[in-house]
Structure 1
Amino acid sequence: MPSPDKSINWTSLITIASAAVLIGTELLGAAWASGWALAGFFQLGPTFETILQAVFGLCAIYAIVVFLRQATRVEPIFKRG
């Protein structure tokens, strides 16, 4: 929880949130499609397809978290005021 002497920098917050939605959607979509494509290419079946999609999805979520951490360092959400 921010201290009372900090205020929210709305421009940075909206920028980071918008970029996170865009990048997150692309990463999760690519993860799902990669699991589907690899399972189909190697004829692994629906169980392994789901497993691959879950593994790639977790990697995508990790990448989103790393992106958010780096983005908040470059564009701070809270400003002293």
Structure 2
Amino acid sequence: MPSSDKSINWTSLITICSVAVLIGTELLGAAWASGWALAGFFQLGPTVEVILQGVFGLIALYAIFVFLRQASRVEPIFKREGASS
């Protein structure tokens, strides 16, 4: 069976994109706030603050990637035309 008989499951795609925006915003906001709070609490200075925000931001982006990968397994974006379910 050729792979060209796949179509987009729009409901799943919209759901995953909406959740990605929600979760992504919260994770990146928490990453930024955590870097700011830790640098301020320990009086580390603005340079370390930006570094902490960047490190926490990268961790948040990785978490978003893992979440989206798992969400696309639960809610498949592509559906097969001839598949019997």
TM-score category, normalised to shorter length: over 0.9
Show structure 2 runs of 5+ residues with no match. Answer: none
Identity in percent: 86
Does 2:21 match 1:21? yes
Q: Which is higher, the Rg of structure 1 or of structure 2?
A: 2
The answer for the alignment partner of 2:63 in structure 1 is 63
Show structure 1 runs of 5+ residues with no match. Answer: none
1:4 CA displacement: 1.8
Q: How does 1:1-81 map to 2 (within 5 A)?
A: 3-81=3-81
Distance 2:53 2:16 in 1: 26
How high is the TM-score relative to the length of structure 1? 0.96
Count residues in correspondence.
Answer: 79
Q: Deviations over 1:7-37 (max 9, x none)?
A: 0000000000000000000000000000000
Letter in 2 for 1:22: L
Distance 2:20 2:67 in 1: 8
